[in-house]
Amino acid sequence: GVCAVVRIKIVQDLAITREAFTAKLEIENMDTFTMENISVEILITNDEQLVENEKFYISNASYGEDLINHDLPAQSSGSAEWIIVPFSEAAPTEQKNYQIGGRFSYSLA
């Protein structure tokens, strides 16, 4: 069965260089165990699937109330948000497309 549902939301479809936008991770822990040691790494890739995080400012995560010390209790929901700002190097002379995703890991207690 499904033990957790994870959604990533980008609060903006179009970003202009130096214009901040928010990335949000939502987690629903439907299991009877606590999700511990939750870790998220934001990855921003170009059209060739190369990681180009260095072209963006990515804030430290801001965690919702239910995510306590990187743990999410059983039968609860939690969230984390990041502010992302493209540097001028992200598209110095022409429009470029990027995809935002990441790596998500945890252990069950």
Each residue's pLDDT tens digit, 8-42? 666 655 555 568 888 888 999 988 999 999 999 99
Contacts of residue 62, defined as CB under 8 A and 6 or more positions apart, other chains included, come to 80, 81, 82
pTM of the entire structure?
Answer: 0.80
Question: Given a cut of 70, is residue 50 above it in pLDDT?
Answer: yes
Half-sphere exposure in the Cβ direction for 26 (13 Å, CA) = 8
CA distance 77 to 54: 31
Residue with tokens 């919702």: 64
- Residue appearing with tokens 């400012």: 57
**Least confident piece of the model among 27-36, 60-69, 82-91:** 60-69
